[in-house]
Amino acid sequence: MSELDFQRVSISGEGISGIPQQCLQDVSSSLVQALLLREKYCKLAMHSFPSTTAKYLCQVDDQSPEPTDPIMLKTTEEASSHPIHAPSNRENPFECEWQEPVDCIFKMEGGLIKVYDSEENVDKGQWMDLPYLDRETFLADHKLIHSTVTNEFIKSFTSRRLTCLQSRFTLHKMLNEVQELESQKSVPHRDFYNVRKVDTHVHIACGMSQKHLLRFIKRKLKTEKDVQVYYDKAKKKALTLSEVFESLNLTPYDLNVDTLDVHADSQTFHRFDQFNIKFNPVGESKLREIFIKTNNFIEGRYFAEIIKEVASDLEESKYQNAEYRISIYGRRRDEWDRLAKWGLRNKVYSDNVRWLIQVPRIYQIHHANKFISNFGEMLENLFLPLFEVTMDPKSHPELHQFLKYVSGFDSVDDESKPEGQAFTKDTPEPTAWTSSENPPYSYYLFYMYANIVILNNLRRKRGMHTFLFRPHSGEAGAVHHLVTAFLLAENISHGILLKRSPVLQYLFYLAQIGIAISPLANNCLFLSYPRNPFPDFFARGLKLSLSTDGPLQFHFTKEPLMEEYSIAAQVWKLTRCDMCELARNSVIMSGYEEEVKEHWLGLNWRKDGPAGNDILRTNVPDIRVAFRYETLCQELQIITNAIKISDDALKT
């Protein structure tokens, strides 16, 4: 592809890095080692790793790049020959392939589910050929990254590089903004409103606006007031909807947005406990159970109905999509089957919606309530049904169908909670963790990731789709949470604490790890809007998307994602090109199927640089994509060239 003609800023001459050559070699070696570790963990879990970064890492060790993924070798077609809209699955959404069952035995050992093909091999301790992670290796890798992140020389180097990246972007916009705008104007039909965008981080329990929830409750009070909806254990009888509201001394006339009291306010700032109360309409847990739970007296019917209404709004907008988080707690083995049956029974499906399973880090609550006796049981409840349905889809038929639209896993909770102990080699294994204390963040993430690795490799062998690990990280708490996420996560939600660590921020940039930032949610909980690092991260080239987190608590309009974009655009003066770039990033970061992304972004979206951009679909000018690509290559060149110079000096 010929070089694009636009204004470039060239920085040349010796000492481009701003630090002595010997220091640069040591710093570069540490950064490359960190990237190689990230690449290793991505390959194990079948996560993505940028091919540009991989190519430069191969040059350091004089290795041949791995064979190109076949998906990147597709012939280029004219944009008009490949449909822009993906085919709909609305008619038969849960129709899927049923693989033949394979006999095997599952055993939870050391926190990992190990797969054996016979009882004889169980006795011999010979499990199937799958990657089982060693936690001591992980802890050593984690320690190495942590020491890199705290190294003063590396901090100085990465701070300078990030400042340089930000300045280059400012110059790029000054020199090329008009040309980028002209490129967008020349594209027929396409503008910011009709490019695909995905809300990459939103919780379904608060996926509707407060006005929508209020309208829904009032409608049900009018049309279904005599329907039994709640079992009162104290009275030992089922209550109708009108009886529930009578017990709360409320009438439909009393209900308004203020009495609903679900919106975050000044009382929730740095008070996650107060924020959690906002999940209860009118402060009553029984209303939450009736309207926004899947497992209740009416089998989650109201919750399904309101989700379908929210999905209908997305379908009406046509170009907005969402990846909703829905909870599996690990309290009981049948949670997966209950969730799947709820989804199929109520036909909860939309072309505009995909699911992520969020696992709240609340082991201590399950343990206190006697649901489980150790952390290993929680892991077993989370993963064993998935292994069973992978090897025999008909063992959990509804689950097999429901998983068709589950793209990955999330790990959620308040990161600001103090952790009782660090994750070390002396930390008890999950089956031996019988304490009432909650395990640390990195302990949760490691054992979730390790089991996802085994599961993904098993599913790939069975011809099934694999899962991504996309945890919350860096919203609050310790910066080392982001070290764990750097190694184990496909992409993350929040990540605002990266502003405290220039080294991690630079590594996230070089590895192009996706970050879904929710500035309005951050504004209510941990970080005021003007102090949000989003504009700095974006200018420096980190792969960002905007997300809503929880429209029920943080937004006012029917289109919360557009609300998020519009406020960001006004406050930070984002251009149309910036907004379309963020929308394109959101699709790339999402867990939507490859085939769908080919329709939305173009057949060659996996290619690097402008070759992978189709402006007719994304409305992102090739100039912007070329600038991002060339800048990344130059940064990678600085650190890899320093190592090659060092190696050449040693050879001579």
Q: Which residue shows structure tokens 């879904």? A: 516
What's the CA gap between 201 and 471, in Å, rounded? 10
DSSP 402: H
What secondary structure, in 3-state letters, does 606-647 show? CCCHHHHCCHHHHCCCHHHHHHHHHHHHHHHHHHHHHHHHHH
Calculate the alpha carbon distances from 55 to 62, 96, 627, 636 in Å: 10, 37, 18, 10
Calculate the alpha carbon distances from 21 to 17, 24, 27, 639, 646 in Å: 9, 5, 10, 11, 9
Helix (H) or strand (E) holding 583: helix 576-589
Q: Minimal CA–CA distance to 190: which of 311, 84, 86?
A: 84
User: What tokens does 80 get?
Assistant: 């008009």
CB 530 within 8 A of CB 187: no
Q: Where are the alpha helices (DSSP H) in 422-573?
A: 441-461, 480-488, 502-510, 519-525, 534-540, 551-554, 560-572
CB 516 within 8 A of CB 494: yes
Q: Minimal CA–CA distance to 16: which of 171, 161, 162?
A: 161
Side-chain-facing half-sphere of 226: CA atoms under 13 Å: 0
Q: Which residue shows structure tokens 């630090």? A: 19
What secondary structure, in 3-state letters, does 166-221 show? HHHHHHHHHHHHHHHHHHHHCCCCCCHHHCCEEEEEEEHHHCCCHHHHHHHHHHHH
Q: If you write DSSP's letter for every residue of 335-394 in order, what string do you get?
A: HHHHHHHHHHHTT---TTEEEEEEEE--HHHHHHTTS-SSHHHHHHHHHHHHHHHHH-GG
DSSP 592: -
What's the CA gap between 117 and 73, in Å, rounded? 37
Angle in degrees, CA 416, 420, 424, rounded to 5: 110
Calculate the alpha carbon distances from 364 to 373, 375, 431, 434, 593 in Å: 10, 9, 14, 10, 36
* Ramachandran angles phi, psi of 15, nearest 5°: 70, 25
Q: What is the CA radius of gyration of the chain?
A: 25
Q: Is the dihedral of CA 640, 154, 471, 443 positive or negative?
A: positive
> Which residues are known catalytic residues?
494
What's the CA gap between 91 and 96, in Å, rounded? 13
